[in-house]
Each structure stands twice: as structure tokens, then as C-alpha cells.
Amino acid sequence: MSFIGLYEKATPKQIDWWQRLNFTKQLGFDFIEMSIDETDERLARLDWTKEERKQIVDAIYETEVKILSICLSGHRRYPFGSKDIQKRKVAMTIMKKAIDLASDLGIRTIQLAGYDVYYEEKTMSSREYFIENLKEAVSFAAAKGIVLSIEIMDDPFINSISKYLNIKAQIPSPYLQVYPDVGNLSAWLENDPGYELEKGIREISQIHLKDTLAVTGDFPGKFKEVPFGTGCVDFDGCLQTLKRLDYNGPFVIEMWSETSACPEAEIEKAKRFLIPKLKEAGYIE
């Protein structure tokens, strides 16, 4: 049976980590995915003291809920592919600190956003800088046994597993993998999600479960906060395909309910939609 996890931003924002892990446990999840986004508040986690890290490890053991992965989206603000050398240096500092944090907390996977740049113009140079810095990042991660996993994105740079594989060909390391978001993968009409999953199955470390609205000629798509079952994702088909391909890794339900008046209710609604599908596909009993 696969582990089913919850994205941190689905949980109440103003609680401590013991409370967050216990909240996750009470809702029936096996683990949580930590967010380190581009805000100063969450980037500051990279500088947690040894004692602060130990408190989280203690909470993990007390609650018996692990933090299996980090969603590291801080590189949107400081991208590997930036034309600004100082931003590229900060990007690498963020990366090294995240690897150290993951090692200290027992985290296996760091999900990286598949952007060369986000707020800047994309160029051939931004792609080259991205590959150059990703290659260096993978070498640091490998030394500590941490997997870096590229998310399939809401951005044309890496919006398919096929595009990820083009990057992987430049960096043939087992410590570089792919983290498909079935929502993002399905939103791009040029993608055949089943074919993409088949093509990349050897590289998949984790899966995000999220719904999206598709990109069209006159609509940019919607990649966040689409209620499950109202978007374009064929969850039954994706899960059946993954099961046939013998994918047995973790799934993370990705939601943004941290400021909701009742995040528990929103999470339970998502579970009512997804859990029967995971059972039908044979992922949970």
C-alpha cells in the first residue's frame, strides 16, 4: 500500500510543527510535505538552529508522522537560470541549506520547481544557467543521499515528463528524478498524460494529486485551488496507468486551505473524492 501525504499549505498556518504533524495524523494521512516557498517567513526555515531541528525530529517520533518531502519553490524568487549572478548565488545557497535541512530531518526528497526563471524573460542563457546550477545541486544532494525531483510545472519550460527527460539526459544521476503533478501534466493539451507517465515511470519519485483547468488558446489555465472533480484531470485513468506501471511511491494531496475557516472540512471533502479512486486503483485498502 502506498503512503498518502498532505501538503503543508492545506494545514492551518499558525500552528507549531507538533500540532501540524498531529493534525495530519488525525485526518488519516501518513506524512506531510513541507513548504519552503519564496516568502521570507518560510525561507527562514533554512536557518533553523540545531535545537529547532531537534524539536521537529522529536515531534516526528512522538506523532509517528514523517516529513517525507520538501516542496522547495523558493527558487521562483531566486532562480537557477537568472541573468543576475547574485540571484544565482543565492539560489545555490538556498539549495545547499535545503539539502542540509532535509538530511537533518530525515527527509528523502526535495521537489524543485521546473522553472529556469519565473519573473524574468526566458532565454537560451537562462536554460544553460539552469542546467549548470542544477548539475551542481545534484552533486551536493547525492553526497547526502537526498533526491532532487523536478516538478512538472504550470510553465512551458518543463511542463511535461518528456521535457524533464531532455534535462535528465544532461545530468544522468540517480539523485535527479521527476515529480509529476497530475494536474499540471493534464492541463497542457499537447500532453498525453498516459504516454507521459509511461515514458517517465523509471524516474518518478512522488506524485502530486491536484485538479486543474486546461490551458487553451484564449485561457491561461488554472493551476491552483480548483476543487477536485471540477477540472480536467482524469484521476481514474492516471491512477490506473500508474498501477499498471507498478508505481508504488508516495502520493501527496496538494491543497491550499491554510487560511480557511475550517481546513478540516475542505480536506475531508478532497478525501471523499480521492480515497475511493485510490482504493479502486489498488493503492489503499
Report the alpha-carbon distance of residue 93 to residue 97 in Å, rounded. Answer: 6
Percent above pLDDT 70 for the chain: 100
Of 194, 192, 226, the closest CA to residue 210 belongs to 226
Q: Evaluate whether 70 touches 34 at the Cβ level (below 8 Å).
A: yes
Taking 80 as the threshold, does the pLDDT of residue 169 lie above it? yes
- First-to-last C-alpha distance (Å) of the chain: 7
211-213 vs 31-36, strand pairing mode: unpaired
- Alpha-carbon 276 to chain mean position: 23
- Alpha-carbon 223 to chain mean position: 13
Report the alpha-carbon distance of residue 139 to residue 246 in Å, rounded. Answer: 28
Taking 90 as the threshold, does the pLDDT of residue 1 lie above it? no
Q: Evaluate whether 157 touches 122 at the Cβ level (below 8 Å).
A: yes
Mean pLDDT throughout 48-58? Answer: 98
Q: What is the pLDDT of residues 199-243, one digit of tens each?
A: 999 999 999 999 999 999 999 999 999 999 999 999 999 999 999
Confidence band of 190 (pLDDT split at 50, 70, 90): very high
Domains (range + CATH), the chain: 4-281 (3.20.20.150)
Q: What is the pLDDT of residue 136?
A: 98
Report the alpha-carbon distance of residue 22 to residue 86 in Å, rounded. Answer: 40
Q: What is the pLDDT of residues 112-157, one digit of tens each?
A: 999 999 999 999 999 999 999 999 999 999 999 999 999 999 999 9
Q: Tell me the three state secondary structure of residue 121.
A: coil
Q: Evaluate whether 200 touches 228 at the Cβ level (below 8 Å).
A: no
Mean pLDDT throughout 102-111? Answer: 98
Under DSSP, the state recorded for 202 is G
Taking 90 as the threshold, does the pLDDT of residue 31 lie above it? yes
> The pTM is what?
0.96
Amino acid symbol at 223: F
Mean pLDDT throughout 21-33? Answer: 98
Mean pLDDT throughout 26-50? Answer: 98
Q: What mean pLDDT, rounded, does the chain reach?
A: 97
Confidence band of 281 (pLDDT split at 50, 70, 90): very high
Report the alpha-carbon distance of residue 99 to residue 262 in Å, rounded. Answer: 33
Mean pLDDT throughout 103-112? Answer: 98
